[in-house]
Each structure stands twice: as C-alpha cells, then as structure tokens.
C-alpha cells in the first residue's frame, strides 16, 4: 500500500501539483478567516465544505482548458547562496519602509474592509519581505530595440516562459528579483511585469506595475480567439465631406417601376441564403468560449505607461505575456487595485464595475488615487485607524508619510548579446491565433536565417493552409520576407536595399526562365528607371518611373522558337525567342506641342510596320497618327529606307504645313529605324537579366546565405 502511494505521488502531473498547492493555500486562508470572525458572524458565512469543492472543480476545469500546459518548475530548489547580501537581509531604511507600508495597509483595511488585500511586501527568493517598489530596478540595456517600449515588451515576452498563478483568484506569496527571473527564464504575470517595468523606466518611459483583474484569455495566455497582429489591417480613415450649405441639390433620379420589381424579386431570392448565413452564425456562437465562472476575480498584473515622457501621446497598457499594447478602454482589463513604480505606491479609489475604461490616471488626484508616501511633507490623506479618538491622540498617531524610497535591493540587470539574440528558452516559440499559427526562432538558429513564420489557415481547426509568410535576418542575398500562396503556389520574395541586381520583390511559381515572373526593382538606383517587369512565355511588360523621355511602359510580344533549332537541342541563348512586336507608352511632355509629342509607338518587327500616335490637345478629340509600312512587292535592301506616299499613312489634323513635308517624315523614319535596333538590344538585355535573377536565387543554398555573427562564433553550427 505504501509503495502504491509512492507511485501515485511520483506520477503527479503539473496540474496536480498546482491543484494541491491551491488546495493547501485555500484551506489556510479559510482557517485564518474562520479564526478571525465571531460566532455571530460565522453563522452568516457560507459553509466551507460546500464552497471549497465548487471552487476547486472550477479552477481545475479552467486550468485544464488552457491551451498552454507549462511544466511546473520547483522554485524551492534554486541556489540562493551566491546572491548578494541585499537579497537576504533588509537595511535599516528598508525596515522602516516595511513599517510604514504595514501602517498604510492597516489604515486601508480599516477604511475599505470590502476591498482585497494589497500587494505590498511579498517574499523574495531568499524568503525575505521586500517592498514591491524596491524590486523595480530601472535599467537601460545596450541594444537599439530596448530603447523603445515595443522592443522591451517583445524581449520580455519572448525570453520568459509563462507560469500561471498557483491560485487564479489570490495574490502570489512571493515576488522574485528580475535577475533571478532572467536567469531561469520563467515567471508569473507579476514577474513579467516587474522586469518589463524596470526596462521601460530605464528607457525613459513613465511606466508603472499594475495589480488588477483581467479575463481568462489574458491571464492564461490564450490567443486562439484573437486575430494575429501581423494580419491586422490599419484602420481606414473615412474621407470627410466638406459641408457646404450652398451646394447645389440635384433632383433625385427617376426610378423605373420595372427595376424596382426586379429588385424586390432578388431580395426574396436572397432570403434563403440569409437564413443559411444566420444558421452559420449560430454555429459560430456555439464555437465561442463559454462564460468564465471566475470572471472578474482572476488576478493579473500588467504595465501602465502614462502619456508625456518619451513623447507618448496617449496613456496605454502593455500585456507582458504578449508584449502587445492595449487601450485603457480595452474590455480585457476588468479592474485595478493598485499601481507602483520605483518611487511610490498608489491605490485605486475609483469604481471598476465597468472595467478600466472610465478610470482617470491623474495620479495627483487624491480622490482617484491614494498615494502611500506623500511627495511633499504632508500627512497621508488616510485618517488615523480609529475616528473615535481624541484630537490629541490623532496628532500623536499621525505619521509623516513623506519618505525617500531606498535604492533597489536588486543587483544590476544584465543581458549578454548572445542571450539577447538567442532569446527563446526552448529554441522556438509557437503562438496559436484564430485561423493562424506564428512560430519564432532566435537569430542564427536556422541555417537559412529564418526567424519567424506565420501560417494562415482556412478554418479554426488549422487543417488547411492558405498562406505562409516567412521572415529572415542576416542573409547575404538580403532576402527578408517570403510569401507563399498555398492555393496557387505563387512565391514572392522581398529584398532589402543593396541587392546586386537592385531587386525589391520577385514573384514566381518556378525559378525556370519563361515560366511567369514578376520582378520589382529599386528604380531610384537604376539608370533606366525600371521599377517592375512582368514576364511570361510569350510576353514581357516593363514599367518605368522618372525617365527624362517620359517613357512609362514597354510591352514586348514574342513568337515561337525555330523548331529546327529546338530539335537540335540548341540552348535558349543560341535560339532566342523572335520578337514580334514592341509597344511603348509615353506620358505628356509639357515642353513639346501635342502634335510633336508621341503618346504611343508600336514597332511590328516581323511585319515591318511602325505606328505612331500623338498626344491630344485639350480641345482635340481624335489623336494624330502616322504609320510607316513596307512596300508590297519590293525587296528590302540592307540599311535601306524607302519612303513614298504609298507606304505612309497619315491622319494629321494639323494646320501647319511642316507636318506634311516628306523630308521631315523621312528623317523621322530614319530615326525610328535606329531606335528599333536599340530596342531589340534592350529587350534581349531584359531577357538576360531575368535569367540572371533565376540563376542567383538558385545558387544561394541555406549555408551560403548567412552572414557571420562575431558574438555567436563557434555556436549554433558556425565555425
């Protein structure tokens, strides 16, 4: 029997350990409460034997329903022998601080008996009581991202492993130092918050730790019902109409009775589809999580950032588990008990029955916030413990609450470069969202430089993939993002500035040439101003910007290759695609008259036809055109240009006689013939550039694309 009992103890799961701890803590609290009440009051208390099983069952079900099951870490086994003396003892000033905090807590409990106890002086890792404000150690880490709140929040949520509170409705009995939390890379919401607040204050933000209440999803880090932040679209700003009372009111358009009847019929036909949509909505409502029986009671900690410092425009919250910023009106935050920073402690005196959306965060307002230590040498606004005492007694009991906060007992917070870059304790981090999954890796953890992957699914079960996005760092080819459409198998690569071919983006289904490619360039760095090229087996379209000749598009059509050369297994360079037609489009040049400014020109290479279309003047409706074509029945000699009225078609509604001059048309045709030769060479160069892009992307294998990191030399597979 004893052996069986030992086996059962060994096979306890993480939930069982937390469950037993919760049971022990709850029994101790109830025993203290029963001993502190009188016999008359105890009759009004509900039966502990009835409430305890209900609470235990509710907590166990909520714990098992969480999507994240964290292995329990035995904090009692950590080695504290190497910690400084400030961790193990209290200085004289700290002891005085604890006495003042106890006095404040007694006054608060006397005046607000219905409020929950304050989180003031929990035990640290050495079992010593420490005031929460002295646990905050302002620190600025020497990394560029850590100067901004988003970088600090991202580091904390990525570096630490979330541990739930032993009891979701009671405060933790301990609060460890940020240095210990960083060493073991795990902690609860209060540990996350104190570390993040220390980094934010060190970076210059007006940040505070918050003790309050939040929803089940926020406390348990359940984001399966939320939209991934990467998929959120920026809010559309509606265009404001200029109100003008003098605007002409046009009469309403007449409506056809027949059209109205047809519209009514269509509405009747759509009623059935709307009913089906309603049924689907009912199914969605069923899939939504049920109401939390502990709603409003779950203890949580987060960070408050006040507006003002660091040019923060508006006060906001930061959830330390996710690193996301939230509005103070967010419904996920259900109430606040108190806040603190490294200098003081404030108790919220406002009503939180509507959550935090109506709270004022003016900490100088004594009606909204009760400060523990007055900034000036004035007594606390809280009266003495007993209002029935005489004035003389109250003067004796009155305590000067102006107090200079002692320095933090926590050692200097340090994070090495290797720890900063390799921030994931388990090698990677996986976050589940609604119809999406996000994966994160440390820099240089993957040979191809992959640091993040986002997979978008068609359903909430995440069974059918729709799209995959990947982000990279420190690649030699400067690739930083790749998008893969799983439905069409279209791949889009995005590159940073500095690529040898000035690539910005490349979309393809295959890297083989002439299989369909869309390439975008950094056009400001190119001489020709090319910013986009779309190529297929039979066509190629190029788009330009900022050219002096006002060219903005060139479209080329190709014919089929010579069948004899293909049978002889000739290479693509030896048997190029014949150019059938080249078409160019130009913007309007205001320095030229419209009858001399070409809008479109077409070179029909095989048919030996050139067609010009000119821009229109403001008062014109039909464009002027000139067509040069080959004379039928005449053999063309090399470098010969034959011009006659038979092979020239003109539609030129111009008044000037110079446009009818044959000499001018001959010079124009000679110039166009030369430009046609140059255009052929440019088309062949564009073809060769497209092939070079494919060869370069094929060449880069995962081990060749990474740049060396001096901080990780000899680690993670690097020599």
In which domain, by residue range, is 356 found? 90-229+294-397
Contact (Cβ atoms closer than 8 angstroms) between residue 145 and residue 196: no
212-238: average pLDDT: 86
431-449: average pLDDT: 92
689/540 same-domain check = yes
* Range in 241-245, 318-322, 347-351, 485-489 the model is least confident about: 241-245
208/108 same-domain check = yes
256-273: average pLDDT: 80
For 160-194, the three-class secondary structure string (H helix, E strand, C coil) is CEECCCCCCCCCCCECCCHHHHHHHCEECHHHHHH
101/55 same-domain check = no
Contact (Cβ atoms closer than 8 angstroms) between residue 399 and residue 100: yes
The answer to whether residue 244 is domain-embedded is no
The answer to whether residue 491 is domain-embedded is no
Question: What percentage of the chain exceeds 90 in pLDDT?
Answer: 52
pLDDT of residue 507: 94
Of 397, 413, 447, the last residue of a domain is: 397
86-98: average pLDDT: 95
pLDDT of residue 255: 74
Closest CA to 325 of 181, 235, 229, 189: 229
Whether residue 186 has pLDDT greater than 70: yes
Whether residue 377 has pLDDT greater than 50: no
Question: Residue 387: pLDDT band by 50, 70, 90 thresholds?
Answer: very low
Distance between CA 487 and CA 626 in Å, rounded? 47
pLDDT of residue 485: 95
Question: What percentage of the chain exceeds 70 in pLDDT?
Answer: 72
> What total of structural domains would you count in the chain?
3
120-143: average pLDDT: 96
Question: Residue 232: pLDDT band by 50, 70, 90 thresholds?
Answer: confident
Distance between CA 512 and CA 637 in Å, rounded? 39
The answer to whether residue 243 is domain-embedded is no
pTM beyond 0.85, yes or no: no
pLDDT tens for each residue of 479-526: 999 999 999 999 999 999 999 899 999 999 988 888 889 999 999 999
Q: Residue 156 is encoded by which pair of tokens?
A: 């904390």
Provide the β-strand partners of residue 208.
Answer: 304
552/607 same-domain check = yes
Q: Greater confidence, 601 or 46? A: 601
The answer to whether residue 309 is domain-embedded is yes
289-302: average pLDDT: 88
300/344 same-domain check = yes
Question: Residue 40: pLDDT band by 50, 70, 90 thresholds?
Answer: very low
Q: Greater confidence, 599 or 574? A: 599
pLDDT of residue 350: 95
pLDDT of residue 143: 95
pLDDT of residue 617: 82
Average pLDDT, the chain: 81
Helix (H, G, I), strand (E, B) or coil at 330: coil
176-205: average pLDDT: 96
50/96 same-domain check = no
Q: Residue 279 is encoded by which pair of tokens?
A: 């049924």
303/156 same-domain check = yes
pLDDT of residue 631: 61
The beta-strand segments (E) located in 536-639 are 539-544, 551-558, 579-586, 598-604, 609-614, 625-628
pLDDT tens for each residue of 67-78: 555 567 788 888
Question: Residue 241: pLDDT band by 50, 70, 90 thresholds?
Answer: low
Closest CA to 324 of 341, 302, 307: 302
Distance between CA 338 and CA 335 in Å, rounded? 10
Q: In what order do the strands lie in the sheet with 333-340?
A: 324-327, 316-319, 299-305, 207-214, 333-340, 345-348, 369-371
607/641 same-domain check = yes
558/657 same-domain check = yes
pLDDT of residue 299: 97
Q: Greater confidence, 661 or 214? A: 214
56/199 same-domain check = no
646/572 same-domain check = yes
* Range in 167-171, 273-277, 555-559 the model is least confident about: 273-277
The answer to whether residue 426 is domain-embedded is no
Closest CA to 176 of 161, 199, 192: 192
Of 397, 429, 464, the last residue of a domain is: 397
pLDDT of residue 364: 93
Question: Residue 646: pLDDT band by 50, 70, 90 thresholds?
Answer: low
97-110: average pLDDT: 94
Rg (CA), the chain: 37
Whether residue 60 has pLDDT greater than 70: no
Contacts of 524 (CB under 8 A, 6+ apart): 546
pLDDT of residue 49: 44
Of 352, 367, 397, the last residue of a domain is: 397
Question: Residue 339: pLDDT band by 50, 70, 90 thresholds?
Answer: very high
Closest CA to 148 of 109, 94, 92, 203: 203
Whether residue 185 has pLDDT greater than 60: yes
Which helix (H) or strand (E) segment holds residue 439: the answer is strand 436-441
Question: Residue 26: pLDDT band by 50, 70, 90 thresholds?
Answer: very low
The answer to whether residue 465 is domain-embedded is no
573/617 same-domain check = yes
The answer to whether residue 498 is domain-embedded is no
Contact (Cβ atoms closer than 8 angstroms) between residue 494 and residue 480: yes
Whether residue 290 has pLDDT greater than 80: no
Whether residue 92 has pLDDT greater than 90: yes
pLDDT tens for each residue of 348-376: 999 999 999 999 999 999 999 999 998 75
pLDDT of residue 457: 96
Closest CA to 182 of 161, 168, 209: 161
The answer to whether residue 506 is domain-embedded is no
Whether residue 614 has pLDDT greater than 50: yes
């Amino acid at each position: 029997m004893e052996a069986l009992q030992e086996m059962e103890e060994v096979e306890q799961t993480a939930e069982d350990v937390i469950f037993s701890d919760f049971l022990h803590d709850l029994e101790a609290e109830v025993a203290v409460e029963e001993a502190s009440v009188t016999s008359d009051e105890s009759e009004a208390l509900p039966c502990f034997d009835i409430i305890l099983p209900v609470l235990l069952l509710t907590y166990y079900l909520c714990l098992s329903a969480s999507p994240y099951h964290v292995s329990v870490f035995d904090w009692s086994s950590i080695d504290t022998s190497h910690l400084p003396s400030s961790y193990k003892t209290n200085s004289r000033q700290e002891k005085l601080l604890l006495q003042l905090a106890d006095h404040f807590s007694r006054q608060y409990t006397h005046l607000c008996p219905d409020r929950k106890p304050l989180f003031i002086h929990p035990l640290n890792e050495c079992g010593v009581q420490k005031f929460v404000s002295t646990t905050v150690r302002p620190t600025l880490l020497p990394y560029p991202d850590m100067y901004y709140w988003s970088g600090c929040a991202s580091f904390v949520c990525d570096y630490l492993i979330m541990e739930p509170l032993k009891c979701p409705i009671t405060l933790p009995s301990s609060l460890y130092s940020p240095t210990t939390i960083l060493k073991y890379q795990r902690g609860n919401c209060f540990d996350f918050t104190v570390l993040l607040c220390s980094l934010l204050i060190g970076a210059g933000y007006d940040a505070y730790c918050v003790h309050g209440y939040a929803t089940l999803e926020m406390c348990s880090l359940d984001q399966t019902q939320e939209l991934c932040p990467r998929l959120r679209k920026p809010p559309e700003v509606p265009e404001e109409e200029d109100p003008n009372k003098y605007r002409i009111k046009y009469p309403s358009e007449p409506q056809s009775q027949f059209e109205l009847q047809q519209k009514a019929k269509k509405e009747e036909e759509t009623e059935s589809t709307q009913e089906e949509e309603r049924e689907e909505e009912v199914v969605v409502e069923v899939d939504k999580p049920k109401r939390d029986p502990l709603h409003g009671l779950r203890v949580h900690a987060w960070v408050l950032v006040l507006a003002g410092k660091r040019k923060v425009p508006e006060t906001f919250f930061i959830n330390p588990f996710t690193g996301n910023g939230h509005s103070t009106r967010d419904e996920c935050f259900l109430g606040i008990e108190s806040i603190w920073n490294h200098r003081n402690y404030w108790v919220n005196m406002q009503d939180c029955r509507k959550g935090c959306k109506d709270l004022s965060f003016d900490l100088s307002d004594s009606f909204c916030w009760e400060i523990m230590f007055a900034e000036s040498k004035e007594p606390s606004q809280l009266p003495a413990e007993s209002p029935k005492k005489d004035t003389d007694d109250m003067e004796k009991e009155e305590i000067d609450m102006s107090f200079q906060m002692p320095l933090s007992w926590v050692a200097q917070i340090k994070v090495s470069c290797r720890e900063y870059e390799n921030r994931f304790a388990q090698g990677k981090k996986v976050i589940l969202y609604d119809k999406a999954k996000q994966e994160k890796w440390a820099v240089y953890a993957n040979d191809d430089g992959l640091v993040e992957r986002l997979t978008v699914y068609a359903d909430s079960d995440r069974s059918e993939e729709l799209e995959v996005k990947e982000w990279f760092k420190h690649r030699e080819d400067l690739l930083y993002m790749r998008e893969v459409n799983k439905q069409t198998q279209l791949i889009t690569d995005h590159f940073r500035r500095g690529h040898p071919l000035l690539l910005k983006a490349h979309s393809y289904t295959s890297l083989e040439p002439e299989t369909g490619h869309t390439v975008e360039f950094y056009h400001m760095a190119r001489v020709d101003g090319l910013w986009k090229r779309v190529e297929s087996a039979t066509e190629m379209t190029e788009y330009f910007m900022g050219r002096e000749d006002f060219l903005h598009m060139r479209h080329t059509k190709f014919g089929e290759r010579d069948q004899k050369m293909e049978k002889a297994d000739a290479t693509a360079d030896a048997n190029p695609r014949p150019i059938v037609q080249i078409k160019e489009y130009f913007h309007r040049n205001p320095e030229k008259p419209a009858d001399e400014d070409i809008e479109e020109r077409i070179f029909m290479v095989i048919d030996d036809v050139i067609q010009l279309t000119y821009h229109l003047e403001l008062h014109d409706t039909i464009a002027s055109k000139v067509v040069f074509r080959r004379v039928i029945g005449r053999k063309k000699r090399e470098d010969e240009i034959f011009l006659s009225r038979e092979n020239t078609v003109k539609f030129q509604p111009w008044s000037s006689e110079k446009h009818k001059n044959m000499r001018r048309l001959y010079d124009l045709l000679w110039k166009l013939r030369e430009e046609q030769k140059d255009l052929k060479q440019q088309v062949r160069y564009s073809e060769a550039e497209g092939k070079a892009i494919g060869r370069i992307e094929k060449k880069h294998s995962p081990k060749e694309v990474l740049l060396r990191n001096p901080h990780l030399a000899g680690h993670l597979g690097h020599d």
